[in-house]
Amino acid sequence: DGGITQSPKYLFRKEGQNVTLSCEQNLNHDAMYWYRQDPGQGLRLIYYSQIVNDFQKGDIAEGYSVSREKKESFPLTVTSAQKNPTAFYLCASTEGTLSPLHFGNGTRLTVT
């Protein structure tokens, strides 16, 4: 079955540590996205990538970094510069410019 896999489902880190969230898709989609979800705020776009080896900042990119070395993979690193990293992180992909997004099941990151 094709889909998007995010791992781990839950992640705990100490403040000041960088942490990388994994996102893998086998849908052969070109475009991939990272969103952050906080209660009552909907989804906010962190980074997106339209093709391999290219990515752009979204609305809240500060404190985050990404890479897109392979079509299937779009890992997100939450750095120590991100002031409020505790959140639910969602990865998504799409096959075309105006196609709907397909989402993974998310990673809940808790930083203490």
Partner 1 sequence: GEDVEQSLFLSVREGDSSVINCTYTDSSSTYLYWYKQEPGAGLQLLTYIFSNMDMKQDQRLTVLLNKKDKHLSLRIADTQTGDSAIYFCAEILNYGGATNKLIFGTGTLLAVQP
Residue 102 interacting with partner 1 (CB under 8 A): yes
Residue 2 interacting with partner 1 (CB under 8 A): no
Q: Please state the closest distance from residue 16 (CB atom) to partner 1, in A.
A: 27
Residue 43 interacting with partner 1 (CB under 8 A): yes
Q: Which is nearer to partner 1, 36 or 64 (CB)?
A: 36
CB 56 within 8 A of CB 47: yes
Q: Which is nearer to partner 1, 85 or 104 (CB)?
A: 104
Q: Which of 74, 104, 109, 111 binds partner 1 (CB under 8 A)?
A: 104
